[in-house]
Amino acid sequence: MDTSIQPNRGALIPWRPLLLGLGPALLIGGLAVLPTLQLMWFGATATATTGEAVGGFWLGWWQVWADDYLSARITWSLVQASITTGLAAMLGIPVAWVIARWDFVGRGLLLQTLMLPFVVPTLVAAMGVLAWWGPQGLLGQWLAWDATESPWLLIAGNLFFNLCLVIRAGVAGFASQSAAQFDVARTLGATPWRVFWRLELPHAAPAIWGALSLVFLYCLGGFGLALLLGGQQYATAEVVIYTLVAHELELVLASQLALWMLLFTGLVVGLYAWLQMRAATPRTADIRHRKTLTARQWMPVLGVAWVWLVCISIGLAPLAAIFVKAMIASAATWEQVATAETADALFNTLRFSGAALGVAVVLGVCHALVGRRFWWWRVWGLLPLMISPVMIAFGLLLLVPQWLDAWPLLVAAYALLALPLVIQPVAQALDALPNAWADAARSLGATPWRVWWRVTLPLVRPAVRRGAAFALATMLGEFAVTLFLSRPEWTTLTTLIYQHLGRAGRTQLESAWVLSAGLLALTLFLFWLLEEPDRKDTHA
Interface residues toward other proteins, by CB under 8 A: 1-3, 5-6, 8, 11, 434, 436-437, 439-447, 450, 454-455, 458-459
DSSP 330: -
CB of 436 to other proteins, least distance (A): 4
Tell me how crowded residue 310 is: count the other CB atoms within 10 A of its CB.
18
Tell me how crowded residue 204 is: count the other CB atoms within 10 A of its CB.
25
CB of 532 to other proteins, least distance (A): 18
Q: Where do the DSSP E strands lie in 212-358?
A: 291-292
> Which residue number, 192 or 458, has a Cβ lying nearer to other proteins?
458
> Which residue number, 373 or 450, has a Cβ lying nearer to other proteins?
450
> Which residue number, 441 or 522, has a Cβ lying nearer to other proteins?
441
- Cα(495)–Cα(160) distance, rounded to whole angstroms? 21
CB of 414 to other proteins, least distance (A): 31
> Which residue number, 201 or 459, has a Cβ lying nearer to other proteins?
459
- Cα(212)–Cα(216) distance, rounded to whole angstroms? 6
Spell out the residues 6+ positions from residue 103 whose beta carbon is closer than 8 angstroms to its own.
290, 291, 292, 293
> Which residue number, 56 or 434, has a Cβ lying nearer to other proteins?
434
Residue ranges of alpha helices (H) inside 188-314 are 192-195, 201-221, 224-229, 237-246, 251-279, 298-311
Spell out the residues 6+ positions from residue 538 whose beta carbon is closer than 8 angstroms to its own.
462
Residue ranges of alpha helices (H) inside 102-200 are 107-113, 116-119, 122-133, 138-143, 152-175, 179-187, 192-195
CB of 538 to other proteins, least distance (A): 12
Helix (H) or strand (E) run with residue 507 in it: helix 506-539
> Which residue number, 37 or 440, has a Cβ lying nearer to other proteins?
440
- Cα(119)–Cα(315) distance, rounded to whole angstroms? 12
CB of 280 to other proteins, least distance (A): 24
> Which residue number, 308 or 437, has a Cβ lying nearer to other proteins?
437
> Which residue number, 250 or 534, has a Cβ lying nearer to other proteins?
534
CB of 446 to other proteins, least distance (A): 5
Helix (H) or strand (E) run with residue 102 in it: strand 102-103
Q: Is 66 exposed, middle or buried (0-12, 13-18, 19+ CB in 10 A)?
A: exposed
CB of 433 to other proteins, least distance (A): 10
CB of 461 to other proteins, least distance (A): 9
CB of 465 to other proteins, least distance (A): 14
| Structural contact between residues 473 and 119, judged by C-beta atoms closer than 8 angstroms | yes
> Which residue number, 408 or 458, has a Cβ lying nearer to other proteins?
458
Counting DSSP H helices and E strands in the chain, the numbers are 28, 2
Backbone φ/ψ region at 9: left (φ over 0), alpha (ψ -120 to 50), beta: alpha
CB of 442 to other proteins, least distance (A): 4
> Which residue number, 57 or 449, has a Cβ lying nearer to other proteins?
449
- Cα(493)–Cα(505) distance, rounded to whole angstroms? 19
Tell me how crowded residue 1 is: count the other CB atoms within 10 A of its CB.
6
Q: Where do the DSSP E strands lie in 446-495?
A: none
